[in-house]
Amino acid sequence: MKTLSFVGSLEVTLFAMLVVFSVLIFIALIVKVESFLVNNTQNILRGKSDKKDLETDKKEKTIEKHQEEISVSSEDGDLEVVAAIMAALSSYMDVPAENLVIKNIKRVNGNGWKDSAIKSSLR
């Protein structure tokens, strides 16, 4: 049996690492291409060919839906609640708070969060 020198063993190690990383990069490219094809196929089936157009349309509809005036009096002391809701909506919809105007806030009876959590855990 032939023994390898130190330089020879380094060559084998580097070659093996090159092969492994090449295969990993190839697999990553295959996953990217499949992901691209699946997303485009789904968008074509939905009638939309561009995902960004879909997101932009959705945000514009949401903004139009929520562009209303604030009708909260300062004597109620609920301005902090309105500000918190405005900040949450702004963050969620990725829209500047200046573009949102809240007209009406209604308290819902019951525990909406609790009921929603129970329903989602039962699915």
| DSSP characters over 37-77 | HHHHHHHHHHT-S-HHHHHHHHHHHHHHHHB------GGGS
Kindly tell me if the per-residue pLDDT of 48 is higher than 70.
no
> What are the backbone dihedrals phi and psi of residue 67, each rounded to the nearest 5 degrees, phi first?
-85, 90
pLDDT at 12: 93
More confident residue, 91 or 72: 91
Task: Note if the pTM is more than 0.85.
Answer: no
More confident residue, 104 or 76: 104
Kindly tell me if the per-residue pLDDT of 72 is higher than 60.
no
pLDDT at 74: 47
